[in-house]
Amino acid sequence: MNQLDALKQFTTVVADTGDFKQIEAFQPTDATTNPSLILKAVQKPEYRSLLADTVAQFSGRALDEITDRLLVRFGCEILSIVPGRVSTEVDARLSFDSNATITRAERIIELYQAQGIHIDRVLIKVASTWEGIQAAAELQRRGIHTNLTLLFSFCQAVACGQAKVQLISPFVGRIYDWYKKSAGAAWVEADNAGANDPGVKSVTQIFNYYKKFSISTEVMGASFRNVGQITALAGCDLLTISPDLLATLAATNTPLTRALDAQAAKALDLTPVNYDEASFRFALNQDAMATEKLAEGIRAFCTDAAKLDQLLLGH
């Protein structure tokens, strides 16, 4: 059995791509997209007609509406391939505006429903800012499922659990990137691999905390740099993986064992934590890595959203 098939015994495998033509080969359950992945996809020759068709069909509409319609077009194509859910992201430029996030999320869901897609097959991705988490809490109360992204810290995960969001996406690779860069010449790869990888340790802490206290929010590790990070999280609820790393897993036959165990987490001696706005902001501020990576991630998604705007305006 290859490692991809072995992983599927413990974990729901999700394809992390906007390139729906790549998805079928790996037979994932779900798929995730983000502004950067959609931007990358629409610049490929095979997707240009989809971009042009969307612009032509909705010419004269507001740019943000055309953007959402394009995202939903991709999402619908993906849902014709995967049996589960697709994640579609709210514009990152709304990351600090709860009301605007809710309005945009509701429109995305309405666009999916107009295409006959059931609400349970869509996860609305929102950045894990305080405002994003509060918006997600309200969306969940309205029956809209959310995926809280750009998550780098334990306090973000706890606040998401309190908000009863459907799913969180802790970014393994970006956490690893920060610690590796911070260590500089002192970094020893072998000492920070597998279970000792800082990104893996972060997700493991969150997973164990959620399972210990029966928090229903799903944990989906994301943003992987290597296969070792993935195999060290076998047993996590879900893992969203790029096509390149899915291919590597599929081509590898090394035995794979469960690394995270929900039942074992129940026996751990952990203390419950709660955050209000002030304590959340303070805890996030005290975590230099999470503060920097959250800001950097929002800026990068905003940049790619603006580039997508320019592509749409150019048609």
User: Active-site residues: which are they?
Assistant: 125
Q: What is the rounded CA–CA span in Å between residue 140 and residue 134?
A: 10
Residue with tokens 């920070």: 192
Pair of tokens at residue 263: 């039942």
Ramachandran angles phi, psi of 206, nearest 5°:
-65, -45
Identify the three-state secondary structure at position 168: strand
**How crowded is residue 30: how many other Cβ atoms within 10 Å of its Cβ?**
24
Q: What is the rounded CA–CA span in Å between residue 4 and residue 33?
A: 20
For the chain, helix, strand, coil in percent to 5 are 60, 10, 30
Pair of tokens at residue 229: 């990070």
